[in-house]
Amino acid sequence: MNTDFNPSGFAQKNGNFIGLPYNEEDAKIILLPVPWEATVSYAAGTADGPENIREASYQLDLFDADVLDAYKIGIFMKETDEEIKELSTISRELATMHIDNLENGHGVVQEFVDKVNANSNKVNSWVKEQCADLIKKGKVVGLIGGEHSTPLGYLHALSEKYSDFGILQIDAHCDLRKAYEGFTYSHASIFYNTLEEIPAVSKLVQVGIRDYCEEEVDYITNSNKRVEVFYDQAINESLFEGKSYRDICLSIVEKLPQHVYISFDIDGLWPNLCPNTGTPVAGGLSLPQAFYLLKTLAESGKTIIGFDLCEVGAAEEWDGNVGARVVYKMANLMGKTLGLI
Ligand SMILES: [Mn+2]
C-alpha cells in the first residue's frame, strides 16, 4: 500500500474500487466481477453492473462509522473478464429468442436452451476456479454480479473450506425455483441449486421476500427449517404493530449458524435505490434497514465468510452508487468479523 495515501482526499480513478491504494497481492479482500446475465427475464444490463459499481465508487468517502480505519483492510477489485462477458452476450441472445418463443406460444428450440445451460456450466466452473484460487492464496472474496445465478461456483469453493455455513439472503425473490424458463442455472434458481448441490449450506435465511410462487413456498415448507423466510410483508406488519426493528434483526441473525455468507440481491432494497435492476419489485428494505441488519449480524459474534452483490443495473450511475455503498459496507463488516483490521 502506498503510504502517502490520504483517506480524506478525493478518490483517484486508479481502476480500483473507491480508488483504494491496493493491488491483488497486498489486498485481503478481492472483489471478483462476474459480468453474466444470460437468464435475466425482465430488464437487461446487469452484466455491466460491476463496471457501473467501479465507476460510481470513486464518488464514495472512505470513512465508515461502523468500522474505523476501514480503508486499511485492503480491498482490490479485479478487472472484468472479457471472455465471460462475451459468453454472456452470446448466451443472452439465445435466451431471449427462447423466451420470446415461450411467451408467443411458439415451439421450443431445445438447442438454444442446451447451449445456454452449457454456457452457465462454464461460468459456474470459472467462478469456482477463480474463488478457490483466491481462497488458497489466503484472500477473502466478494463476488459482484451479474445476475443472481453467478455465486453458485463461489459457494461450492467456500464449501471446501467451511463444512457448515449459513446464507443470509436479502432479496425480493426466493430464487428457489427448480429451473426457470428451461434454464437449470437461472437467476431464479440460485438457491434451489445451492441447497441441492451443497450440503455444507445448513441454513438459508431469506429477508425482504415479496414476489414468489407456490412451488417456492412448498419447497420452504418441506425444507425442515433449512430455509426460513422473513417476508417483507411480515417485517412491515411487525413494525406497524410496534415491534422494534432491532428485535426483528436479532431474530433473523439468531437463525444463522456461526459462519455466514451474505447474498445480497440489490432488488431486496426499495426500487428507487436500484431502478435498473433486472426484476424490480415495489416494497423492500430501506438502505438503513439493510445496513442495520448487516451490522447486527457483524456484532452478534458470528463470522461473515464471504458475500456477493448481484443484479445491479448499469443504465444509470445511481444504481452503481448504491451498489458501491452496499459492497463497501459488506466488505468492511466482513473484514471486522474476520479480524482483518
Ligand atoms: Mn435474487
Beta bridge partners of 308: 143, 263
Ligand 1 centre distance from Cα of residue 170 (Å): 8
Q: Which residue has the cell 412448498?
A: 218
Ligand 1 centre distance from Cα of residue 97 (Å): 23
| All cell numbers assigned to 149 | 445465478
Query: Measured in whole angstroms, how far is the alpha carbon of residue 245 from the centre of its chain?
Result: 23
In the three-class reduction of DSSP (H, G, I as helix; E, B as strand; rest coil), residue 173 is classed as coil
What is the Cα–Cα distance from 265 to 167, expressed in whole angstroms? 13
Measured in Å, how far apart are the chain's first and last C-alpha atoms? 15
What is the Cα–Cα distance from 327 to 341, expressed in whole angstroms? 17
In the three-class reduction of DSSP (H, G, I as helix; E, B as strand; rest coil), residue 275 is classed as coil
What pLDDT, on a 0 to 100 scale, did the predictor assign at position 3?
A: 65
Ligand 1 centre distance from Cα of residue 258 (Å): 23
Ligand 1 centre distance from Cα of residue 52 (Å): 19
For 80, other C-beta atoms within 10 Å of its C-beta total 18
In the three-class reduction of DSSP (H, G, I as helix; E, B as strand; rest coil), residue 282 is classed as coil
Q: Judge if pTM exceeds 0.95.
A: yes
Q: Give, in degrees to the nearest 5, the angle at Cα 265 between 259 and 269.
A: 110
Ligand 1 centre distance from Cα of residue 166 (Å): 17
Ligand 1 centre distance from Cα of residue 61 (Å): 28
User: DSSP letters of 9-73?
Assistant: SPPP-SSSGGG-S--TTT-SEEEEEE---TT--S---GGGHHHHHHHHHTTS----TTSTTGGGG
What pLDDT, on a 0 to 100 scale, did the predictor assign at position 1?
A: 65
Ligand 1 centre distance from Cα of residue 117 (Å): 18
Q: In angstroms, what CA-CA distances link 120 with 44, 87, 114?
A: 17, 9, 10
Q: What's the CATH superfamily of 17-337? A: Ureohydrolase domain (3.40.800.10)
Q: Which residue has the cell 418441506?
A: 222
For 11, other C-beta atoms within 10 Å of its C-beta total 16
Ligand 1 centre distance from Cα of residue 9 (Å): 36
What is the widest separation between alpha-carbon atoms in the chain? 63
Q: For the chain, where are the E strands, in sequence order?
A: 29-34, 75-77, 140-145, 165-170, 201-209, 227-231, 259-265, 303-310
Contacts of residue 149, Cβ cutoff 8 Å, sequence gap at least 6: 36, 39, 120, 123, 185, 186, 187, 189, 190
Ligand 1 centre distance from Cα of residue 89 (Å): 20
Q: Which residues surround ligand 1, an ion (CB under 5 A)?
A: 148, 171, 173, 175, 265
pLDDT tens series, the chain, 341 aa: 666 899 999 888 999 999 999 999 999 999 999 999 998 767 788 999 999 999 999 999 999 999 999 999 999 999 999 999 999 999 999 999 999 998 899 988 899 999 999 999 999 999 999 999 999 999 999 999 999 999 999 999 999 999 999 999 999 999 999 999 999 999 999 999 999 999 999 999 999 999 999 999 999 999 999 999 999 999 999 999 999 999 999 999 999 999 999 999 999 999 999 999 999 999 999 999 999 999 999 999 999 999 999 999 999 999 999 999 999 999 999 999 999 99
Of 271, 270, 306, 274, nearest to 290 (Cα)? 270
Ligand 1 centre distance from Cα of residue 21 (Å): 32
Domain boundaries of the chain, sorted by first residue: 17-337
Contacts of residue 201, Cβ cutoff 8 Å, sequence gap at least 6: 155, 159, 165, 166, 167, 194, 195
Of 34, 35, 38, 33, nearest to 189 (Cα)? 38
Ligand 1 centre distance from Cα of residue 187 (Å): 6
**CB–CB of 319/49 below 8 Å?**
yes
Ligand 1 centre distance from Cα of residue 217 (Å): 16
What is the Cα–Cα distance from 143 to 155, expressed in whole angstroms? 10
Q: Dihedral of CA 311/154/164/287: which sign?
A: negative
